[in-house]
Structure 1
């Protein structure tokens, strides 16, 4: 990334989306679709073989990069930030790289923090459809895959295909690039970091993303057809979906995936543009990250009532704050109580319109609280653990202990209180987390203040979450997710 290191995204999760569809273009689809979520460490093709403690170390390392970036994001004004970032990206192209042209000679960069992905999805795109594994991310707004735009050299293309799955754009009759001379490229895609250079009017509109962990991707914008299997047994196709064709990527953030599905909140994200065809809603339910590999969780576009036979406790609703900390989904928190006692956390910590706020982020594993909140929450929870031997594991979490004889009833319940009266009461196992046999830790990390607090995906486990983008509402209910 460039010197001030701001990243666009945050990996939600890595899923398994099985699509195969067929429908009319531009009309709202009355049914819904249900997608299987697969955890990063449970991918059948994953070479990751870590102990439980090593897995937590890995997640903590990836969260650290992400959380620092979110904290910086909230301190930047959106309009100024986008203009500065775009200018710096275009004026600091790597030495030796060439201007983008249709032969794909220029490297491509992505703005999403792909290094924190937790779940993957199988994604079908093109005509005929080609299948890929994408990271699903509520904190980024561009859907892209590894791609070859034109392959005039057959041997070169075959060599690339042996290394990774690559979308062959020249094999798809529905692939159509966005011209670099178009208003869409110059203005509408500026927030997706389109490049303003335009060697000739019909050259493809390119994007150039970089970010602080050194990973990058560079590509061109196009419209394509995405295929879905619906819950009513039918198939449908979503036409003219904006996608990125990434011909070059660099770094370890993309390992295990062929690209990203952007579910963040912005005009061209998959959630906003395509979920509208399913009633403007998407939802997910995450099983425990330590569940066996044969236990699945789901991502849903449309009404969950048509998609699931889940046992849900009473759904609660609170306001979803959209467009303030783009592309993230923010909520209005009033405070945190522990054991029915409200902690005296300053109100500005929760002010999403100021220098605070709270983000619901499935791309972050651990929950981060800005310093004023973190200190009080940790102090209150430690009091119930004084009888257990404290351990120093030296891997990022402040408070770990020997859990022999531990019972969850010893820990006072933690509750997030929303300003409209709704309450989110996570399970104790979601904030007193297992890290090794006989070892537990308080699953919070400190975040920079001023900045945003983040409710991560471990805290969200065993809850069903519905994002209603039309009515700006967040629904949630406890569930087994199976």
Structure 2
């Protein structure tokens, strides 16, 4: 870490022009985008796509096995577990040494497109974000479990992973500005990234966003105009990454939607309000992320639960599950034996061990007419066939307050190859997590102002 910062700070005045790369916008899909905008006349709506959709921002790598998605997913679970345990990053750091090294050297609603991140080599969803003046579009991971938004910036003084589309060039934006070490936002980094900031010899604030799976981004805290479609907002604070390594696929960076003053949600809230809604689509449809107002009457709600473990994550309380109309054979206390997080970046839902075991047995019993298949990676309840073709039982997940997710076969099972489908659940480690497979096709609203999360079926298909 200290060496990386030395390199970063030694060349802090060098900003090279990024190599032009063709824009990823697919003209073939433009008519679909226009059609989707008409769904809500009060704001701009842009499409979200599954990675196997023909309109996905970038194609799925032909040789990407589903086991790679599961490996990334397990690494994310390790990252969340480390956060909840308040353990240091797996990457060796000495921030005191880093600081010493540094001393030496519009509208009521905006909506953006989302696409499942397997299309850029990761398992969570992505969107296009515009940055700078003139604006350039970037494919970004959307993460409800992170606060600071960051993206790779030229000249990538230490390391940049391969990304789809152009690397952001601060020199090309007339509205770009670095953030000084004395700015309040520099002090706010410690709560947003769980790491203290550092300061360059030219008084530029340096951030470090590190994750429990050893992924990280280090760079300059910056501000610029951010845009989503035709909606632009100035003075958006984000990280301009100069050393970015880990499981980010081919995305340009990450958009943070957690409960923190540096997240995208909180920075846009004065204009758009403290809520956002998304629908994560299947392969055959489009979905969306909307920031701002929503129709409250269409949702069933569960309260957000306060937790001393991490006040930026979205905790809720799972209260029960049924399979084919029958409750699982576990005590009601089993569901609350671990804290429960809802997370857009986790693919496979994790349940308390006793709940998962009961679910696995009940689903297997209900599908006794379907041939079993061998376990696949972390998934141990597998069947021959595809989710769309097997006879799967009706499964519900209930939450305090009355919210219910009625899972279709595609929410319950995940196809791991052309001949095998598996139960899209696994045992939890230190926290239960409601992943994005179970959320798929539901409209999910995070109403932070009212401290509640709502679900509505049929948000997209």
TM-score (norm 1): 0.73
* Equivalent in the alignment of 1:327: 312
How far apart, in 1, do the equivalents of 2:402 and 2:60 lie? 45
Whether 1:296 and 2:286 are equivalent positions in the alignment is yes
Secondary structure of the structure 2 residue equivalent to 1:180: coil
- Aligned-residue CA RMSD (Å): 4.0
User: Match of 2:407, SS?
Assistant: coil
CA offset digits 1:395-443 (Å, max 9, x no partner): 33102122499976x5442211212223221113311333344432222
Q: Do structure 1's residue 170 and structure 2's residue 171 form an aligned pair?
A: yes
SS in 2 for 1:166: coil
CA distance in 2, matches of 1:438, 1:371: 27
Deviation at 1:119, TM superposition (A): 2.5
State the 1:262 CA deviation: 1.0
* 1:418-437 matches, cutoff 5 A: 418-437=399-418
1:44 offset after TM fit, Å?
4.6
Question: CA 1:187–1:403 in 2, change beyond 3 Å: closer, same or farther?
Answer: closer
CA contact (8 A) 2:151 2:252 kept: yes
- Unaligned 5+ residue runs, structure 2? 2-23, 30-40, 106-119
- Equivalent residue for 1:73? 83
- 2:275 equivalent to 1:274: no
| Correspondence for 2:325 among 317, 333, 340 | 340
TM superposition score normalised by structure 2: 0.76
What residue is the counterpart of 2:342 in the other structure? 360
Partner of 1:22: none
Q: Which has the higher contact order (CA 8 A, sep 6+)?
A: 1
Give structure 1 stretches of 5+ with no counterpart. 2-14, 19-29, 104-113, 230-234, 306-311
Bigger mean CA deviation after superposition, 261-270 or 116-125: 116-125
Q: 1:371 aligns with which of 333, 353, 361?
A: 353
Rate the CA distance shift 1:405–1:257 in 2: closer, same or farther, 3 A: closer
Deviations 1:235-274 (A, max 9, x none): 44212211111012223x2332111111122121002221
Match of 2:129 in 1: 123
Counterpart CA distance in 2 for 1:407 and 1:150 is 47
Matched, 1:33 2:58: no
1:262 pairs, out of 256, 265, 269, with 256
The equivalent of 2:216 in structure 1 is: 216
Q: Specify whether residues 140 and 16 from structure 1 end up closer, same or farther in structure 2 by C-alpha distance, changes over 3 A only.
A: farther
Partner residue, 2:93: 89
Is 1:316 matched with 2:300?
Answer: yes
Shift of 1:164: 6.4
Is the alpha carbon distance of 1:428 and 1:89 closer, same or farther for their aligned partners in structure 2, counting shifts above 3 Å? same
How many residues of Structure 1 are paired with residues of Structure 2 in the alignment?
409
Task: Tell me which residue corresponds to 1:416.
Answer: 397
CA distance in 2, matches of 1:160, 1:441: 32
1:278–1:302 Cα contact (<8 Å) kept: yes
